[in-house]
Amino acid sequence: MNDGKEPPRRRHTSGVSTEDEEEVAENLTTIEAKNVFEISDGEFSWHLNKEDEVALKDINVKIPVGKLTMIVGQVGAGKTSLISAMLGEMTTVNGHVEVIK
């Protein structure tokens, strides 16, 4: 209860005070889902010579465990190339590809 010495706590419509909310937020730890596959800043080419034309640039993909993941897009957008890069069928020019087992 408020004894008149402290200002009253502001309350949301939920009844939780904003001070309580801020205190809880400070103590929370963010938990990220584990990924089974990840590409970071990937660049991929169909050619073995890395100086040749890069087919995929600036690729960043994270596929979390237990989640349905779809690759969709227009004809010629690079869906098949992306799958091929994920399977290791393309030359990795730059970036990091990780398969977590």
pLDDT tens track for 17-75:
566 666 666 666 666 678 889 999 999 999 887 667 899 999 999 999 888 989 999 99
Task: State the Cα–Cα distance between residues 43 and 91, nearest whole angstrom.
Answer: 9
Instruction: Flag whether pLDDT at 2 surpasses 60.
Output: no
Instruction: Note whether residue 95 is domain-resident.
Output: yes
Residue 18 covered by a domain: no
User: Does residue 5 lie within any of the structural domains?
Assistant: no
How many folded domains does the chain comprise?
Answer: 1
Q: What is the pLDDT of residue 13?
A: 60
Please check whether residue 28 lies inside any domain of the structure: no
Q: Tell if the pTM clears 0.85, that is, is over it.
A: no
Is 11 a domain residue?
no
Residue 65 lies in a domain: yes
Please check whether residue 61 lies inside any domain of the structure: yes
Asked if residues 10 and 17 have their Cβ atoms less than 8 Å apart, the reply is: yes
* Domain of residue 64, residue span: 35-99
Instruction: Give 79's contacts (C-beta < 8 A, 6+ positions apart).
Output: 71, 72, 73
12 domain-assigned: no
Residues 59 and 40: beta-carbon distance below 8 Å: no
Predicted local confidence at residue 9, as pLDDT: 62
